[in-house]
Structure 1
Amino acid sequence: MVKLNRFIQFNDETIDANLLLLYERVGRALADAPYLKLTERKLFELQPTEGVISLSVFWRHRPDDITHAGRLSDVYLMTAGFWKHFSVLDWVNFRAMYKNHPLRKFTEEMLLMFEEFRLMDFVEKERPGTGRAFSVRRQLMLQFHRDRLFSNFKKGFYTDALMNQLFITLHEGMYRDTQVEWELPIEHIQLIASYATDARSTSDMAGLVERVVFMIEEIIKDDLIHQYYAIGDSISEKTAVFHYHEGMADAEKGETEVKETIEEIFRTWHRENESEAGVHLEYELEHGRAGRGDGSNATEGNEDAEIQETGSGHSEGNESERWSDEEREQTNKKSEQKKAGREFGKEHVHVVYEEKEVEVVRNDDNKAKLVRWREEQKPYIRSFVDEMRKRIELKEDARRNRLVKGRLSTKLTTLLVDERPRPFYRKNIPSDRLDAVFGLLVDGSASMMDKLDETKKAVLLFHDVLRQLSVQHEISSYYEDANHATKELQPNVFELMHTFGDQRKDDGLGILSFETNEDNRDGFAIRWMTQRLLARSEKHRFLLVFSDGEPSAFGYDRNGILDTRESVMEAEKRGVSVIHLFLASEEPTDDQRALFSMMFGNKSAASDSVENFTDQTVRILRKLLGIAIG
């Protein structure tokens, strides 16, 4: 789980999870699409099949206010502009027209650039509040294209240089100095580009692009070297045209529906994802839910044919003796696995998970360790438990004085002295137990191996303290089976060391039997434990996460930080307090602290050495139990 120190520093960069969630909410509101997800890529783009919109990394490494405004402009442009006002049909037809043209990339990206200009103006007029973000965008993008214009022209990348020139013309007008000596009818090309201010649709812009291409295709032979726009890459005939077969009538005619906007494409793919939730979307959407086969592809039977192969199903009927013990064990294991589905977040759609008790190792070594560690921790636990019990007793014995009704106090001078005497009091009702419940998640990834014993000591102390205070708690490790994880299936395991049903049972040996495995999927584990805590009736619910770095699992390294932050916010919103303890063998760096703060907010603690794991655990428990005592 520890983050690798990559050899290039910018490979370690991550966007602030809180900011990314803010942009995501803005995008969802503007698009009226609560299912939208947001990420960051090289160029801003839309991915309908994944339900994702992406910000551009172009805005990084700038002052915070510039970066914020630039990213907002990406969100505004995609969700309030391209989302509803970019014609998919015109785009598909345009791409088909220039499919085999030597300047294909240039034609496509020029149309997207013209549409960006049109939609920025449209959104700004419709929503004046976006003006500042778009002003920053124009300023930064103009500076970028001015810098690239001379560089590309000098290198002989004339198509790229023309792309830069057209952007400058669109936003500054045709009378601006071109900086380079063109061997093109540049004035006429700029004049055509200036007509973009009057264009009202994607079709109008496509017509202007056709006129520009007609003027240069005999002069410029080489296509674009660099890519400037990626927003149209994922919008093709495959994503825009769907074939539905709903019943016989539709099945016979093969009804085809062409989507007109990006919004319609996103919503269609989202509906199909929700209803099917599988990998069928890698193919054309062909459904036959209500249709009947006409038998045209049937093969005539032959009663004289020889039987070449026999097979048996996985029934556990009278013929179950055919199965080997290994086959039966594998089948039982599959039946115990649960599908995460969309209940645990979009990142975990293909996760299957298993909840099982940790296999207790009752050897002499574990027994000796348990006795030795408890003897070492005994003074700390005794003093801590005594402190908590005294605080509980003080709370129980405390009484509320100066009330207008209740029991009469022995001090009646208030009747003579006070203008409005309040001589009554009431005792607080004693509580049999603390109204709190705890869940502890322990990172089970391979990176925990070098600090395994110290982690077990901290978990053991956590267990012994809560057990003596009769506080309900559950302890589980979590990991992903990296050896069997694929794009379609990511098996995860929760190894339960102590459950709510165990009450005050001593599970010390179970804790010492915990071992490390492979990867970790933190957001998924937090949502899983949150559900278990929400099923409890206690007033105070605490979820502790013991880990040693950032999430790492199949297809999860890119969005793991954001997903973890989102899971923490979801838990807090539902009344579960999430606290993180960073388990490290050395003092965490500033970058690591910033990362934990990004994922867990201000409820993240760190130890500067493995020896301090138990001290930090005591400190966290003291604070949380203090909250529960009140």
Structure 2
Amino acid sequence: MKFLVFADTKIDSFVHMQLIDLSRSLSKVDKMDVSFSYHSYLERSSGITHVSQFWNPYPRDIQLEGWKSDVYLRSYGTQFHTDDHVIWDTLNKLKSHPHREFLKQVLLFAEDYRLEQICVNGRPGMMHAFKLRKETFQVHYNREYRKHIQQKRTLDALFCHIILLANKRFVAVPQETQELYQELRSLLTKLTTAKSTEDIAAIITEMAAITQKHLNLNDMKTAYRSFSDQSQQSKTTGESEQNFDDLTRNNETQTKKTITKDEDSDKDKDDKEKESHSSWHDETSDPQDSFLQMDLDQGTNTDLLGEGAREAESGDAVFGSVQTSAKRTDNNDFDTQNEHEAETDNNQSGSDSANHFPYGEVNKNVTEHFLPAKPATLDEIAQYDEYNQEIAPFVSQLKQNFLKTMEHKRTAPREDLHFGRLGKKLTRLATDKNPRLFRKKQESQQELDTTFTLLVDCSASMFNKMEETQKGIVLFHETLKALRIPHSVVGFWEDAADASTNDQPNYFHEVISYRNSLHQSGAPIIQLEPQEDNRDGYSIRRMGEELAKRPEQQKILLVFSDGEPAAFDYESHGVLDTHEAVTRTRKLGIETIGMFIANGEITEEEEKLMQNIYGPQNVVVPSASELVDYLMPVLRKLLFKSL
């Protein structure tokens, strides 16, 4: 487990989630992600807004506003107001130009300048972030200007001069570029008033013709801005078009049958056009990845199909498109048949359900494996008895305090009622218009309507904490067992060795089950051992589902963990996914509490991490040896809350 790290800088996971929410809200793209990259740009095909690591070294307030300005510029500006194809076409035309990098940087800066004006005019709330961005860039590019002058990179210095000039900051034009600047001056003025990407591209084309005359100047060496890669966009678009062609059967090749029988009839205009569908079997030389696939009755690639016709079945893919478009008519008496067809439609018409991932998109390839507790060995029983004796005084104290409080609540009378037994405060009869003079004893409550699940992180980073953690689990089990409260204890981890892009095996080791929790020994708790990775979001969702099935009214999910979730292709999304899992579980009526076990000293990042995931319902334990001391008040509060 580790924090989100990029370029040796820790990124606050809560800030990352804020930027993702902001990007999705502005771009109107539900799955828009935010990535920390060298430059800021929008990767439209992949749905990623890249924010620049330029802001990493700055103080927290400037850093956050800088990242927000990147999101504003890309998710709102570029998303709706930039023509990517115009940018790509212009850059392609400049590939052979001797000053292509200089022209590219001016093109991208001019586009960002135009987008900034659009953002501020359309969303005045963005003004503060862009003002701070401009002030920061003035200082940065002024420093870069001086550096380029010393290094004698004239076009680099001229580019910094252009940016500073656009931001009302004046510096001298480099001596070697005086003539070029005078020729470009009118065009640079036009750039600040351009209304579209096409206008900017046209001006850059004019600038290219002028700069080509100054071959004595070397091209820029520094890249301050980037744009999305056209090849990646084309690849994604090509795949989409291919899939669409498959569905519409536009890419199918004709078989011999389609070109032998109707070859001569093409000249006859009266003949109707015949539609043909390709078929595939084991001897087909070039099978197509088509939606429509049928089997031949004969094993040779001839122009004749088999004589026997195959009876259609309702589940055939051939008839899928017909079934999904079928509708029930108002004027028929075939109620039974129509009901059956309607049911089939509901099952097959739902591309949304096919694309919906109940446990989150980052968990779509997770496969789960449940491991029951093994019979405890003699060593495990002895180890458990040792832990049990050590925590017995704590269990006894919790039990006695709870039972006394519960008995007091049962016997304490309710007063100030309109009916019941007459109370002692009779003076209200004279002082109050509507006196409440009666009282009534509490109804006796035999058992608590509460259940618990303890989810234990069994990742590799728990190797030096598991022994003390087991003591906390023993306290949890023995206390609830003494109070006759059903509960379960489950360890979770992901097998990193077998994890791949298409399969991420996750294991749940249930050492204490609901059905046996009130009378079984807790010795299987000792079987919990450090394993490999942890996918907290998926585990919380699954255990939340199991807990929601319980009949008890109050359900509590307690999570022991020691750091940020880390699993296969999960590190950059782990905190957000776990936060969403906690939110979703709480919406099911399950109280979800996280207990973070630190390594001896609680850092600010660890506190923020737990706050970002669990909100105020989290407890940070300095070390595993203090887990029992911190767990006691948590259990006491939860138990008293259930009364």
Q: Which residue of 1 aligns with 2:267?
A: none
Q: Which residue of 2 aligns with 1:392?
A: 406
1:238 to 222, 235, 240: 235
In the TM superposition, what are the counterparts of 1:450-465 in structure 2 within 5 Å? 450-465=464-479
1:229 correspondence with 2:225: yes
Q: How many residues align?
A: 551
TM-score normalised by L of structure 2: 0.77
Question: Residues 596 and 45 of structure 1: is their aligned pair in 2 closer, same or farther, counting only changes over 3 Å?
Answer: same
Q: Any idea what the Cα deviations from partners look like across 1:421-453, whole Å, max 9, x if unmatched? A: 211234443333323332211111122122222
Name the aligned partner's letter for residue 490 of structure 1.
Q
Assess if the C-alpha contact under 8 Å between 2:558 and 2:594 holds in 1.
Answer: yes
Cα distance in 2 for partners of 1:539, 1:102 equals 74
In the TM superposition, what are the counterparts of 1:98-117 in structure 2 within 5 Å? 98-101=94-97, 103-117=99-113
Assess if the C-alpha contact under 8 Å between 2:161 and 2:173 holds in 1.
Answer: no
2:508 to 464, 486, 494: 494
Structure 1 unaligned residues grouped into runs of 5+: 254-286, 302-338
Q: Which residue of 2 aligns with 1:561?
A: 575
Q: Any idea what the Cα deviations from partners look like across 1:67-118, whole Å, max 9, x if unmatched? A: 3332222222112211111112323323433345555444444322211111
Q: Which residue of 1 aligns with 2:200?
A: 205
Question: Residues 112 and 396 of structure 1: is their aligned pair in 2 closer, same or farther, counting only changes over 3 Å?
Answer: farther
Cα distance in 2 for partners of 1:92, 1:239 equals 16
Question: Residues 97 and 2 of structure 1: is their aligned pair in 2 closer, same or farther, counting only changes over 3 Å?
Answer: closer
Q: Which residue of 2 aligns with 1:129?
A: 125
Shift of 1:381: 0.9
2:8 to 6, 11, 16: 11
Secondary structure (helix, strand or coil) at the match of 1:198 reads coil
In the TM superposition, what are the counterparts of 1:124-273 in structure 2 within 5 Å? 124-172=120-168, 176-183=170-177, 184-217=179-212, 218-219=214-215, 223-233=219-229, 236-240=233-237, 242-243=240-241, 244-248=244-248, 250-251=250-251
Shift of 1:14: 1.8
Q: Which residue of 2 aligns with 1:353?
A: 368
1:119 correspondence with 2:115: yes
Q: Any idea what the Cα deviations from partners look like across 1:294-330, whole Å, max 9, x if unmatched? A: 99xx9859xxxxxxxxxxxxxxxxxxxxxxxxxxxxx
Assess if the C-alpha contact under 8 Å between 1:251 and 1:288 holds in 2.
Answer: no
Residue identity (%)? 28
Secondary structure (helix, strand or coil) at the match of 1:577 reads strand
Name the aligned partner's letter for residue 115 of structure 1.
E
Q: Which residue of 2 aligns with 1:334?
A: none
Assess if the C-alpha contact under 8 Å between 2:161 and 2:171 holds in 1.
Answer: no
Assess if the C-alpha contact under 8 Å between 1:439 and 1:543 holds in 2.
Answer: yes
Question: Residues 495 and 514 of structure 1: is their aligned pair in 2 closer, same or farther, counting only changes over 3 Å?
Answer: same
Cα distance in 1 for partners of 2:585, 2:219 equals 51
Cα distance in 1 for partners of 2:236, 2:145 equals 35
RMSD between aligned residues: 3.3
Assess if the C-alpha contact under 8 Å between 2:252 and 2:290 holds in 1.
Answer: no
Shift of 1:357: 1.5
TM-score normalised by L of structure 1: 0.79
Assess if the C-alpha contact under 8 Å between 2:596 and 2:621 holds in 1.
Answer: yes
Q: Any idea what the Cα deviations from partners look like across 1:358-389, whole Å, max 9, x if unmatched? A: 334x3221111122222222222122112112
Secondary structure (helix, strand or coil) at the match of 1:612 reads helix
Question: Residues 79 and 12 of structure 1: is their aligned pair in 2 closer, same or farther, counting only changes over 3 Å?
Answer: closer
Q: Which residue of 2 aligns with 1:513?
A: 527
Assess if the C-alpha contact under 8 Å between 1:70 and 1:133 holds in 2.
Answer: yes
1:374 correspondence with 2:388: yes
Q: Any idea what the Cα deviations from partners look like across 1:379-434, whole Å, max 9, x if unmatched? A: 22122112112222222223321123444436544324544321123444333332
Q: Which residue of 2 aligns with 1:21?
A: 17
Secondary structure (helix, strand or coil) at the match of 1:483 reads coil
Cα distance in 1 for partners of 2:51, 2:553 equals 41
In the TM superposition, what are the counterparts of 1:530-549 in structure 2 within 5 Å? 530-549=544-563
Cα distance in 2 for partners of 1:94, 1:547 equals 52
Name the aligned partner's letter for residue 171 of structure 2.
D
Larger mean CA deviation between 187-196 and 596-605 belongs to: 596-605
Assess if the C-alpha contact under 8 Å between 1:92 and 1:237 holds in 2.
Answer: no
Max Rg structure: 2
Secondary structure (helix, strand or coil) at the match of 2:195 reads coil
Cα distance in 2 for partners of 1:289, 1:503 equals 54
Q: Which residue of 1 aligns with 2:90?
A: 94
Which structure has more RCO (C-alpha within 8 Å, separation ≥ 6)? 1
Assess if the C-alpha contact under 8 Å between 1:88 and 1:240 holds in 2.
Answer: no
Q: Which residue of 1 aligns with 2:47?
A: 51
Shift of 1:170: 3.3
Question: Residues 544 and 223 of structure 1: is their aligned pair in 2 closer, same or farther, counting only changes over 3 Å?
Answer: farther
Name the aligned partner's letter for residue 52 of structure 2.
S
Question: Residues 100 and 66 of structure 1: is their aligned pair in 2 closer, same or farther, counting only changes over 3 Å?
Answer: same
1:577 correspondence with 2:588: no
Cα distance in 2 for partners of 1:353, 1:294 equals 36
Q: Which residue of 2 aligns with 1:318?
A: none
Question: Residues 146 and 432 of structure 1: is their aligned pair in 2 closer, same or farther, counting only changes over 3 Å?
Answer: same
Q: Which residue of 1 aligns with 2:343?
A: none
Secondary structure (helix, strand or coil) at the match of 2:594 reads strand
Q: Any idea what the Cα deviations from partners look like across 1:125-163, whole Å, max 9, x if unmatched? A: 122222222222222122222211221232244443333
Structure 2 unaligned residues grouped into runs of 5+: 254-287, 303-353
Name the aligned partner's letter for residue 211 of structure 1.
E
Shift of 1:585: 5.1
1:438 correspondence with 2:452: yes
Name the aligned partner's letter for residue 174 of structure 2.
V
In the TM superposition, what are the counterparts of 1:73-84 in structure 2 within 5 Å? 73-84=69-80
Question: Residues 25 and 447 of structure 1: is their aligned pair in 2 closer, same or farther, counting only changes over 3 Å?
Answer: closer
Cα distance in 1 for partners of 2:543, 2:594 equals 14
Secondary structure (helix, strand or coil) at the match of 1:342 reads coil
Question: Residues 133 and 585 of structure 1: is their aligned pair in 2 closer, same or farther, counting only changes over 3 Å?
Answer: closer
Q: Which residue of 2 aligns with 1:333?
A: none
In the TM superposition, what are the counterparts of 1:320-335 in structure 2 within 5 Å? none
Cα distance in 2 for partners of 1:45, 1:472 equals 53
1:62 to 53, 58, 66: 58
Assess if the C-alpha contact under 8 Å between 2:411 and 2:441 holds in 1.
Answer: yes
Shift of 1:537: 4.4
Cα distance in 2 for partners of 1:293, 1:152 equals 68
Secondary structure (helix, strand or coil) at the match of 1:464 reads helix
1:421 correspondence with 2:421: no
